[in-house]
Chain A
């Protein structure tokens, strides 16, 4: 087991204030370190999650950020796994602590995904984040590939465009109570239907934005925690898996099979069942991806019924994306998975935004992240100190 002694996120959005990704990384790290009660000299390893040097124009960013954070001398490592970069970085830190190679690890996710390059350039680059030699060379965009995958899911699971609207409305509404959210909006179905069609059935409002921002967690060996943080939440399970990068090579392109395998591994490590998850941050790059993710993770055997019965709401059986998710809170790619884990930790500690904090704090929470069309999947289970 590994403790999360500190967790913090910057606001996510399009930053136009002259600040840089290095400022955001420092802001998130400082917040997490303060919460942990540790000093920079206590950190044995800094892991930086950043999806692409194209965004930061900085190869080997971990060494540069270490200097900014006063961590020169600590070991440094950069982790990249597409959209899953942040969660994979958390996993790398957990593994180091479990192996006894570090007592305290700082994991910082950061990317200037909104402001560094033009929208067209980003769309081109993301076309290469799938199998660049097959799907990528056709010119298919991320939206297009997600749309084709969702169509297969919808055909076999009975999902509808109304379901996409329901996810969109709920996540953006949650974001309204998150002061750090990129898109806090109260949408109507009519407003969504009037938005431009990007890749049917996805309209613009069904898509998550690209954002700037950072998030950080401090992972600690439980025996090395400061006394004041002895009750910090624990990471009790991690799991990762992969799928074919080109969509057509999958037997069922709409199923997020790698996510299912990752979840099974994490549940096995935590010694719990999917029904024990009482709160989840699910990777919703698109509205349909949230439904595909929930189905793959097994946290709601009948996702359609649960969604319309309020099961994923703040006081439902398993609140999903209280932060607003990628669709509402935003998606600075390297920060996304770290931010999801930080959000779960803060929710378990009742330190999250008051308007989103559930009345019933569950024993176990789930942070779910992926890269590609659920090609690289990574999930993390967090538990109350006494929960596992």
Chain B
């Protein structure tokens, strides 16, 4: 069987809508836990402390690189955003070997992914 199949998905973001909308606008929308007040980014519907039903909080959008991996699969890092309680995975655009600080930049294309450019670097 040699079959070509084209699929078009139209999935609603549901409770993640503010987060996804934020990525498209270049804004970092995190979830503030109603119980412990920590902000998760990407957002957790249920916090590590067990609290659920978070409110939305915009972060400054500045992130520090913790671990970075590069190669034929691209340039990515585990980063921590100012004001956020945990780490997140981000795609890096235009980072030099010594760059450690990034700012969120609007996601383009079909995939609303978390993208960073260096704080003083060129736009993607």
Point out which of B48, B73, B113 has the most chain A C-beta atoms below 10 A from its C-beta. Answer: B73
Q: Quick check: is A14 within 8 A (CB to CB) of the other chain?
A: no
Residue of A144, A147, A198 with most partner-chain B CB within 10 A: A144
B120 contacts partner chain A, Cβ-Cβ < 8 Å: no
B16 cross-chain contacts in A, Cβ below 8 A: 133
Return B36 CB to nearest CB of chain A, in Å: 14
Residue on A nearest B5 in the bound complex, by CB: A57
Q: A122-167: which have CB < 8 Å to B?
A: 131, 133-135, 137-141, 143-145, 147-148, 151-152, 155
Determine if A196 is an interface residue (Cβ-Cβ < 8 Å).
yes
Q: Count A-B contacts at CB 8 Å.
A: 108
**Would you give the 0/1 interface string for B57-93, flagging 1 where the beta carbon is closer than 8 Å to chain A?**
0000000001111111110111000000011111100
| Contact of B73 with A198 in the complex, beta carbons under 8 Å | yes
A148 touches B13 (CB 8 A): no
B103 at the interface (CB under 8 A from A): no
Complex CA–CA separation, A143 to B89 (angstroms): 13
Q: Is the CB of B91 within 8 A of A139?
A: yes
List A contacts of B90 (CB < 8 A). 138
Residues 249-290 of chain A, each 1 if its beta carbon lies under 8 Å from chain B, else 0: 111010000000000000000000000000000000000000
Question: At the interface, yes or no: B39 with Cβ under 8 Å from chain A?
Answer: no
**Which of A134, A155, A196 has the largest count of B CB atoms less than 10 A from its CB?**
A134
Which one, B68, B89, B115, contacts A135 given CB within 8 A?
A: B89
> Is B119 part of the contact surface with A, judged by Cβ < 8 Å?
no
Q: Mark A333-357, 1 if CB is under 8 A from B, else 0.
A: 0000000000000000000000000
User: Across the interface, do B112 and A147 meet the contact criterion of CB distance under 8 Å?
Assistant: no
Residues facing B in A193-217 (CB within 8 A) are 196-202
For A202, what are the chain B residues with a Cβ–Cβ distance below 8 Å?
A: 69, 71
In the complex, the chain B residue whose C-beta lies closest to that of A146 is: B69
Q: Is the CB of B88 within 8 A of A147?
A: no
Cβ of A48 within 8 Å of any chain B Cβ, yes or no, is: no
* A residues in contact with B112, CB < 8 Å: 137
| Most-contacted residue by chain B among A133, A135, A141, A198 (CB, 10 A) | A133
CA distance A57 to B3 in the complex (A): 10
Report A112 CB to chain B, min CB distance, Å.
11
> In this complex, which of A131, A148, A244 has the most chain B Cβ atoms within 10 angstroms of its Cβ?
A148
Q: Tell whether A387 is near chain B: CB-to-CB under 8 Å.
A: no
Q: Is A37 an interface residue (CB 8 A)?
A: no
Please tell me if the beta carbons of B67 and A151 are within 8 angstroms of each other in the complex.
yes
**Do B89 and A140 touch across chains, with their CB atoms under 8 A apart?**
yes
Contact A200 B76 (CB under 8 A): no
For the complex, what is the distance from the CA of A148 to the CA of B71, rounded to whole Å? Answer: 12
- State whether B71 touches A253 (Cβ < 8 A): no
Is the CB of B105 closer than 8 A to any CB of chain A?
no
In the bound assembly, the distance between CA atoms of A249 and B70 in angstroms comes to 22
Q: Identify which of residues 1-53 in chain B touch chain A, using a CB-to-CB cut-off of 8 Å.
A: 1, 3, 5, 13, 16, 20, 23, 40, 42, 44, 48
Interface residues of B (CB under 8 A from A): 1, 3, 5, 13, 16, 20, 23, 40, 42, 44, 48, 66-74, 76-78, 86-91, 107, 111-115
